[in-house]
Amino acid sequence: MKDVYPRYDNIPDGWLVAPDEQPEYLETPLSSSVGPALDLTDALLDRHVREGRGDHVALSLADDGSRYTYADLARASSQLAHALRRLGVGPGDRVAVRSPNRPEALIAFLAAWRLGAISVLTPPQARREEIRFFLQDTRAKVVVVARKDPYLSGLDAVDRAEVPSVEHVIAFPDADGAEHLSWNALMREEQDSFPAQPHPADAVAVIWHTAGTTGVPKACYHTARRLLLAAHCNIAAYDVSPDDVHMFPAPIGHAAGWLSRAMFSLLAGITFVELEDFGNPEKVLRAIGEHRVTWIIAAGTTWVQMLPIFEKDPRAYDVSSLRRTYAPTITSNGRWLYDAWRTYGLDLLNPFGSTAFAGWFFVPPQDADVPPLSMGGPIDGYEARIVQPYTAPLTDVAPLEIGQLAVRGPSGLTYWNRPELQRRDVREGWTVVDDLFRVDEDGHYWYMGRSDMMIATGGYKVAPVEAEQALLAHPAVAEVAVTAAPDTERGQVVMAWVVPAAGVNPDAALRAELQGFVKARIAPYKYPRRLVFLRQLPRDPLGKIVAKTLAGWAQRGEIPADAYDV
C-alpha cells in the first residue's frame, strides 16, 4: 500500500516522496479502520471527551502539581486553533514549536492538527544557526516559543529576512514587550470549542529532523494515517491499560519524547506525567512515587544518575507502582546497570525504534523469557531482517553475523525534500536504518551500534561494540565508547575512549593492561591500538553518548582538555 498525498500549494512539488519510492507499508488489523479522511486531534483527544472521559487527567505536571484533563486540552487546543486560523494558518502550513516540557507545546501540536497544518519539532538545545536552518528547511509559517527560555534570544537574533516564511511568532505565556504575539491575549479572544474537521489521512502531520552521527540534519515526515497506525501498534506492544500512568523524562522537542506525549498517551486515554526539569534524577524519582507512575521509559543515563540516589536511601523513594520499566538502546555494556536495578525488582527492558518509523518496533514483553538487554523480536505489525551493510540488492547476512537492520511495517521512512536520501535508505520496500544488529540462535535481536561507525582496519571490519564489551569486562573500566581513528598503515584503527572506575588512577601501565585484556578475549585485530582515558563521555540531552563528537576528536587527533594526562 502506498500513500496518496493531497496537493497543497504551500508544499513544493517533489518535496514529498513519490509512490514508487515510498516504503512498502504492511497492513494491520486496524488499517481498514483509518478511512480516507481523519481529524487527528479528534482521534487523540475529543473522542475521549465525547465518550465521557473528559475529566480524566491527561497531563500531570510534576514541577508544580498542576493538572490538565482531556477536556482542558480540548478547550485550549480549540482556542488556539481559532487563533491560528485567524492568522491565516490552513492545511499544509507548518507550525514550528520550541518549548521546554510544557503543556503549551502539546496544545500547539493539537491545535495545528485541527486545521490540517503540520507540526514541526525543534530540538530544545538548538541555537541561532540551527534554528534558522530548521525554519528555512520546513518553511514554517508560525513559530510558538516559550518567552522565559534563553533559546528565544536565539530566535530573536535570527534575521527575519533570512526566514521570510515566518509570518508570526507566538510567545507563551506572554510576549513581555517583545515583537511577538502574546499567547494569553490570543487565547482570551477565542471560542473554546472547535467542530471536527477531517482532513486527508495521507496528509503530512509532523516533520522532525534527525542528524544521525554525521552531516546536516535531515527532515523526515509522517502522515496522520502512519502516526495513528504506528501508535496503535506501540500501545499494544507496551500492553497499555486504562489505569496506566506514563512518564518519559525527555525533551518534548525530541521525537521519542514527543511521541510518548502527543501520540501514545493521548490515543490510549491515559495520564502522562510531565517534568520540565527532567535532567534532575532526584526529581524523576520523586515524581515516580508521588504520581504512582506505572510505565516509564528513560534513557540509560537517567537510570545511571538515579541509581546512587536511590541506593543511598531506597526507603525515601517509592517505586512500587512501576510495572513496566524501559531503558532504550542499551548494548551489553549496560549489563551492570540492568543487574543493579534488578536487585530492587525492576527489569530494565530494552526497546528500539527510530524517527523513521514514528515509534518503537522492538519492545521486549515483560512476561516473556527474553535475555537481559536483548530487544526480543519485532512487535506485531512489523518485520525485520539483518542485511549486509551498503549492498544492493539487499542480501541477508549469515546466521549469527552482524549486519544492518532493515524494517517494514505500517510506518516507514519518508524524507522531506531529500530524494537522494530516500533512494539510498528505502530499498526494495524496506527501510534500512543506520544501526547494526545480530540475531541469536533463539531469534532474539541484539543492538550492536551504528553502522556508519563500523571500523575498517587492515582489511577487517570491526563493530565498535565488540571492543566495548571486552573492555567493560575489566574492573578498572566504568564506561567506554569505541570509534575509528585514521592510520596511514591500516587505514583505520580501533580507538577506545575509557572512563575509569571510581578510585582508579589511569596510567600507561593500565592502558597496556587493557589492550592485552582485549586481545585475550576477541580477535587481536579488534583490540584498541589507541586508548584515551576521559573523565566523562559526551552525551546528548537524552543521555546518549555522542559518538560523532568522539569520532571528530579521533579524526583530528584531538584530545579534550579534561582527559587524563597519561
Task: Give residue limits of the domains in the chain.
Answer: 19-436, 454-556
The pLDDT value given to residue 375 = 94
Give the whole-angstrom CA distance, residue 318 versus residue 304.
17
CB 134 within 8 A of CB 120: yes
Average pLDDT over all residues of the chain: 91
Total count of residues recorded for the chain: 566
Q: Is 325 exposed, middle or buried (0-12, 13-18, 19+ CB in 10 A)?
A: buried
Are the CB atoms for 4 and 202 separated by under 8 Å? yes
| Residues forming a β-bridge with 326 | 297, 349
Residue 126 pLDDT > 60: yes
Note the Cα 272 to chain centre separation in Å: 17
Residue 374 backbone class (left: φ over 0; alpha: ψ -120 to 50; beta: rest): beta
Task: Flag the least confident range among 74-88, 434-448, 531-545.
Answer: 531-545
Among the listed residues 263, 15, 320, the one whose alpha carbon sits nearest the alpha carbon of residue 139? 15
Mean pLDDT of 440-469: 85
Q: Which helix (H) or strand (E) holds 111?
A: helix 103-114
The C-alpha angle with vertex 233 and arms to 382 and 341, in degrees rounded to 5, equals 95
Residue 119: name the closest of 88, 151, 150, 141 by CA: 141
SS3 324: strand
Q: For residue 178, give the C-alpha cell.
A: 517583545
> For residue 540, what pLDDT is reported?
73
Only one residue has cell 587481536, namely: 524
pLDDT in tens, 324-339: 999 997 766 678 889 9
* Sequence-ordered list of residues with C-beta below 8 angstroms from that of 21, at least 6 positions apart, any chain: 419, 422, 423, 426
pLDDT level of residue 151 (50, 70, 90 thresholds) = low
Q: Under 8 Å CB-to-CB from 260, ≥6 apart: which residues? A: 246, 248, 250, 272, 297
Q: List pLDDT tens digits, range 376-423.
A: 999 999 999 999 987 889 999 999 998 999 999 999 999 999 999 999
Q: Which fold has domain 454-556?
A: GMP Synthetase; Chain A, domain 3 (3.30.300)
Query: Are residues 49 and 432 in contact, defined by beta-carbon separation less than 8 angstroms?
Result: no
The pLDDT score that the predictor gives to residue 211 is: 59
Helix, strand, or coil (residue 228): helix
Residue 128, all three cell numbers: 541561532
Residues sharing a CB contact under 8 Å with residue 325, sequence separation 6 or more, in sequence order: 296, 341, 346, 347, 348, 349
Q: Can you give the pLDDT at residue 214?
A: 45
Quick one: which of 40, 556, 426, 459 has its CA closest to 266?
40
| pLDDT score, position 405 | 96
Confidence class for position 446, pLDDT limits 50, 70, 90 = very high
DSSP labels, 370-431? --TT---SBPTT-EEEEE-TT-SS--BPPTT--EEEEEESS----BSS-HHHHHHHEETTEE
Specify which residues 496 forms β-bridges with: 482, 531
Collapsed DSSP state (helix, strand, coil) of residue 518: helix
Q: Which residues contact 245 (CB under 8 A, 6 or more apart)?
A: 60, 270, 271, 272, 273, 291, 292, 293, 294, 295, 321
Angle between helices 70-86 and 103-114 (to 10 degrees): 60
pLDDT at residue 213 greater than cutoff 60: no
Per-residue confidence (pLDDT) for residue 131, from 0 to 100: 83
State how beta strands 491-500 and 477-487 pair: antiparallel
Of 74-88, 191-205, 386-400, the range with the lowest mean pLDDT is: 386-400
Residue pLDDT, tens place only, 421-442 = 999 999 999 999 988 899 999 9
For residues 164 and 141, give the distance between their C-alpha atoms in angstroms, rounded to a whole number: 9
Give the pLDDT confidence score for residue 469 in this predicted structure.
82
Backbone angles phi, psi at 415, to 5 degrees: -80, 145
Q: What's the CATH number for 19-436? A: 3.40.50.12780
The whole-number pLDDT of residue 332 equals 64
Banded model confidence at residue 158, pLDDT cuts 50, 70, 90: low
Whole-angstrom distance, CA of residue 338 vs CA of residue 374: 11
Counting beta carbons within 10 angstroms of the beta carbon of residue 307, is it exposed (0 to 12), middle (13 to 18) or buried (19 or more)? middle
Q: What radius of gyration, in Å, describes the C-alpha atoms of the chain?
A: 24
Residues facing residue 295 across a β-bridge: 246, 324
Identify the residue with better confidence: 331 or 213: 331
**454-556: same fold as 19-436?**
no
Cα 505 to chain centroid, rounded: 36
DSSP state of 525: G
